[in-house]
Structure formats: structure tokens, C-alpha cells
Amino acid sequence: MDTLLSLLHGFTVAAEPSKLLFCLIGVFLGTAVGVLPGIGPALTVALLLPITFKLDPAGSLIMFAGIYYGGMYGGSTTAILLNAPGESASLATALEGSKMAKAGRGGPALATSAIGSFVAGLIATIGLAFLAPWLVEVAVKFGPWDYFALMIVAFVTVSATFGDSPLRGLTSLFLGITLGLVGIDKLTGQARLTFGVPELLNGVEVTTLAVGLFAVGEAFYVASKRFRDPEEIIPIKGSLWMTKQDWKRSWAPWLRGTAFGFPIGALPAGGAEVPTFLSYSTEKKLCKYPDEFGKGAIEGVAGPEAANNASAAGTLVPLLTLGLPTSATAAIMLAGFQQYGLNPGPLLFAEKPDLVWGLIASLFIANVMLVILNLPLIGLWVRLLAVPQPWLYAGILVFSTMGTLAVNGSPVELAQLFAFGFVGYLMRRYDYPVAPMVVGLILGPMAEQQLRRALQISLGDPMILLENPGSATLLGIAFIALVAPFVMKGLNRFKASED
Amino acid sequence: MMNETRKAGADKPALIVGVLLLIAAALVGYDASQQTITSNYGVGPTAVPYVVTAGLVILGLSHFVVAFREGLPVPEQADNNALLWIAGGLTFLVAWIAVGGGFTIAIAAIFACTARGMGRRAFLVDAAIGFALGLIIYLVFAKVLTLILPSGPLERLFL
């Protein structure tokens, strides 16, 4: 009952005209960047952070959430019509979606992904609204040791789930943690790793790192391989509407996709790739027309697309209740909260109920806006793909420098942006995931603080981490998640050599 | 088994990453060893840096192992010309802002250089577009957001 009341109150906040406007801008921008290949919601929010820090916090956060949801909708359009997934979460959609488009069924493919996203987004947001208060009650009882252990879980899973190689993921994570050490230590006032450069005393800005890695790095990367064959847009032929048969074949995959996406998104294991591929393989198994798979089965679009959106809502659960980001976009959104001096977590629910519940309510509104924006306006979004790439990336670099200069006009900051951009390029080139680095920079200092607080309470005895059942369990999970990929790899090799 | 042995010797990129990680570890460890204040109880500001040092050393050594096994993924040929254009634009930008040259021309340069790097062949047109874009952004920030971006002689004309 409390939840319903809070949610209703949230709707009164979210329905204010200014908030609706922010929401609309968010979903519009989100869809646009979702459609453009190579530009994801994480990058967009990172670019907007510096511009929005003088605006109303609630409005900006609603806009960021709209971008997140919108990016998930828009990504499917590119995946289906270009066979070029805008972000890794729509890889699975591209498999069947592009085949459907080639077979002249692009319209129904887009429709099932938009409606599926809507259904999944709605269910998952309801899940978020009801799960969050409950988790908050659990989280209130968390001690610093529990938080520390939870962050270790996030560290491990984020670096193990992003990318192909746990070694490269962990390297990226540790680079981020190292950057997090730079600056004045909050507990003793000691300067660490500043090497006498006064601009470094405040530490490395999350936005500078994020914009550098995501935006500048991406621009370098795309420029470096522009000799690829240009992608071809498959024109939408035939009706946009789904037939009765399409509806019949879509609704169950939508629900199953949601059931995969939301819990996996909500776990600190995060990532939208896992549930989308789980959903894809499940639909392939359950499908009544298995021979259609690989040639454009509508189930293969409906399921993963729903899973994708549900997991986006799922990642907001740990973000809002624990302050724990489990996807790249969530990490940047956390930086967004922090720039307003807000710390997501149980306290935020108690201190700023307007903001939290307004944000959750706005997600419902964003979903409705998105399905309206996406279906009739699909032609507009497709035309967006015709923007010349040189201008697109030139514009991204203009925005990146503008944002950095707006926060902190020093050449040192700009040089950092440039350097991180080049690092981001090299990481992409050698297949190092960049998201763990951002997570490391954000969570590293938080984890250190919690650890030191825990050890102060225990008078320096590290066993406190293992004596508390909560933290002991979490550290156990982290250990298994860390070791499992290496053991599995060893097993695979063993199998391979037996053949 | 043939696949596991590399063509000749070690994978260079992996070796370089390994060396860089060890250098980073040395820097973090050295910095921590120079700290003067340490806590009486609990852990001080040096504990986590030492843990990070250990982590970086392990990762660096693992890269050496990888270098002699599968190596890093081999990337496709990069268009160095494009990279140089963009890097050049960014270098100019940092230098221009450092000497107090102002926002608009910096943006014009970065826009034109990036577009050139990505394959457009209309440098002056792009520079003009970038110039207009920079000026509009500067004015919007100054008048609407009351935030003054770096200003040079040109920008001061409009204030």
C-alpha cells in the first residue's frame, strides 16, 4: 500500500509540465542516439552531464532515465534495418530482425520490438517500484562491510561480464581503480598520485573519463577503420502492422524475455547481453516453427527486445537502492546523481522521496511516450541514419570539448580528455572493455571508504569481513565469479585437447 | 595444438601492456611508500594503494603469460592518416585554450579536423560550420546558462 501511495505521489511530480518536457527530450534524444550506430545511451548521458549540472536535478535525472530507455528502443531499429546493432544489448535482435527486414517484414519486426519493449518496460518498471522499497529496507541494515563486499561483487561481475576476456576486463577495472586513487584522500587529507600537479588534487572527474573513453575514443576508433564497407539500410516494405498471427507468436516471447531481463538486470551481475541471448536461445527451442529461425522468426525479435528493455529497468534497482551501477549507462547515471550531491541508496528514498518516486513514475510515462514516438515516427528515425558520419563525429567531439570546458575550463582537464580518448581508442582496438574502467573510478573510492570504515569499527581486524554472514556470502559469490571463468576456460581446453 | 603456438616469439602488444601495467604498479607503490601520515588503527591511506599495486603486478605478469600464448586480438589495419587529423585537431585545441585563444576558433578547428579525418574533403566549409557552431554554443552558454566558456579576443566582442 505504501508503495502505491508513494508511486501515486511520484506521478504527481512526474506529471508537472517541466518534468514531462524533460522526459520527452530524454526519450527523443535517447531514441535518436539509439538509432545512430556507435552512439549509445552511456555516451549521451556522459555528454549531457556537464551541460545539465546547473539544471533542476529531478528533471535532469528524469531526462537521463528517458535517454536510457529510449536508447534501448532506438537500438533495435538499427539492429533490424542495418544489421548493425547500436549497442551490444541489441546484438541478439539483429540476428532475426535483419533477416525479417530482408524478407520484407521489417515493419512487423519493428512493431514487435517496440510493443515488446513497451510491455517489458512496463512490467519491469512495476517490478522496480515494488522491489525497490523492499530492498531499501534490507539495505538500511547493511554495515560498511556489507557495502564493501557488495562493491567487490560488482567489480568482479562487471569486469567478467563485459567483453570476452576476464583478464582484459580486470585490467580495465584496475586502471579505473588506480585513477580513483588520484587526489586528496578523504579521511586523512593526504594527496595521492598527484605528482605535484595542483589540478589533480580534486581527483579525476568521472565525466572527463567517461566522455574521453566513450565519445573521443569511439570517434578515434570509427575514424581508424572507416575503410569498411558502408552499411546498407534495408527499406521497410509492406505494412508496419503486425498480423494476428504475429501477435499470437509475440506475446509469450515478450513475457518470457521480461522474465529473463528484469532479474538478471537487477542482480549486481548486470549487463543486458546475457538475458538477450538467453531469451534468444529459449525462443529458438520453444518455437513452433524452428525452421524459420535463422530466416527471420518473429519470436527471435520479440523475446530479446523485451529482455533488453526489462534489464534496463532492472539495472535501476541496484542503482537506486544501493548506489551500485551494473551497466555502463547506470555508472554514468550514478555520476549524474553525484554531480547534484545526491547519493543513491536507502537514504535517498528517505530524504528525497519526491525525486526517487518522481523518477520511477516518469519511467512509466517515458515508456508510453516511447511507444507513441517509435511506431508512427519510424520513418523519421530511419532518415537519421543518413546524417554524414564525418559531421556526426565532428559534432560529438565538439560536444565533448564543450562539456569538459563548461565544468572545468583548464587545459589540464582538456589534456586528460584527449589522453583518455586515446586510451579508449587503444582499448577498443585490442578489445578491452571500457565500462569497467568507469565503474572502477566511481566505485573504487567508495569501496575504499567502506573498507576503512569497517576496519575502523573492528579496530583493524580484517576478519570482520568474513565474520558477518552478509559480507562473507557476498565475498564468496565474488570469489566464485572471479575464479569460474578461468576454471571453465581450463575445462574447455581440457576438452579440446581430448578431441 | 598448432593453433596454440604463435607464429614467432611473443605478442608485442601484450608485452607492452604488461610493461605499462608494471610501470603503473611501480608508480602507485612508490607514491604510497612516500606517504607520511598513517593511521593508528584501521587502515591508512596507503593500504588500498598497496593492494592496487599488487593487483596491477599480477595483471602485468598475466599479460606476459598471455603474450607467449594466444596474445591479444589482432586488430585490423588502422587508418593512421585519419587518426593523425583528429589527434592534430585535439592537440591544437588544448594548446589554443592554454594560450587563451578562445572557444570559437578551437571548436572550428576540431570540427574541421575531425570531419577531414573521417574522409570529408571540404576543409574550409567544415571550418565555417564549426565556427558558427562554436559561436552559437558560446553565446547560448553565456546568455542562457550564464556560464562563460574560455574567451579570447573574438569572444570578448560579444560579451
Enumerate the domain spans of chain A.
Answer: 2-498
What's residue B6's pLDDT? 46
According to the per-residue pLDDT averaged within each range, which of A45-54, A232-241, B89-98 is highest?
A: B89-98
Q: Give the closest-approach CA distance of A69 to chain B in angstroms.
A: 27
Q: Does residue B73 lie within any of the structural domains?
A: no
Same domain, B95 and B60: no
How close does chain A come to B158, measured CA to CA in Å? 18
DSSP single-letter state for residue A243: P
Residue where a domain stops, chosen among B10, B40, B68:
B68
Question: Between these two residues, A398 and A84, which has the higher pLDDT value?
Answer: A398
Residue among B156, B132, B140, B93 at smallest CA distance from A54: B140
Residue that is last in its domain, among B68, B90, B108: B68
- Digit-coded pLDDT (tens) for B39-73: 555 577 888 999 999 999 999 999 999 998 888 88
B104 in the same domain as B42: no
Within a domain: residue B132? yes
B48 closest CB neighbour out of A219, A431, A448:
A448
Burial class (CB in 10 A: 0-12, 13-18, 19+), B51: middle
Selected residue with higher pLDDT from A46 and A66 = A66
Domain boundary among B68, B96, B113: B68
In a domain, B75, yes or no: no
440-459 of A, contacting B, C-beta below 8 A: 448, 451-452, 455-456, 459
Number of neighbours of residue A265 by Cβ within 10 angstroms: 31
Provide the b/e sequence for A337-366 (b: ≥16 CB within 10 Å). bbbbebebbbebbeebeebbbbbbbbbbbb
The percent of residues in chain A predicted with pLDDT above 70, rounded, is: 91
**Residue B93 confidence class, pLDDT cut points 50, 70, 90:** very high
The DSSP call for residue B5 is S
Model ipTM value: 0.90
Q: Global pTM?
A: 0.85
pLDDT at A119: 93
B16-20, B130-134, B151-155: segment of lowest average pLDDT: B151-155
Q: How far apart are CA A472 and CA A483, in angstroms?
A: 16
Q: Which pLDDT value is given to residue A287? A: 82
- Residue A190: per-residue pLDDT: 83
* pLDDT at B2 exceeding the cut of 50: no
Asked, for residue B51, whether it belongs to a domain, the answer is yes
Q: In sequence order, which ranges of A288-327 are alpha helices (DSSP H)?
A: 299-322
DSSP line for A169-200 = HHHHHHHHHHHHH-EE-TTT--EES-TT-GGG
- Please indicate, yes or no, whether residues B148 and B85 belong to a single structural domain of this protein: yes
Residue B97 lies in a domain: yes
Q: What is the pLDDT of residues A355-398, one digit of tens each?
A: 999 999 999 999 999 988 887 887 787 777 777 888 888 988 99
| B146 and B87 part of one domain | yes
Of the candidates B41, B112, B129, the beta carbon closest to that of A456 is on B41
Q: Which domain holds residue B38?
A: 2-68
Does residue B74 sit within a domain?
no
In the structure, how many helices (H) and strands (E) does chain A have? 22, 2
pLDDT of residue A55: 81
Three cell numbers written together for A130: 515494488
pLDDT above 90: percentage of residues in chain A: 21
Range among A186-200, A240-254, A339-353, B98-112 rated most confident: B98-112
Specify the number of domains making up chain B: 2
Q: What share of chain B is helix, strand, coil (3-state, %, to 5)?
A: 65, 0, 35
Together in a domain, B147 and B106: yes
Dihedral class, residue A91 (left if φ above 0, else alpha if ψ from -120 to 50, else beta): alpha
The pLDDT assigned to A365 comes to 93
Residue B113 located in a structural domain:
yes
* Binary contact (A406, B147; C-beta < 8 A): yes
**Same structural domain for residues B64 and B86?**
no
> Which residues in chain B are contacts of A223 at CB distance < 8 A?
79, 82-83, 85-86, 114, 117-118
Which cell numbers hold the place of B36? 607520511
Beta bridge partners of A183: A192
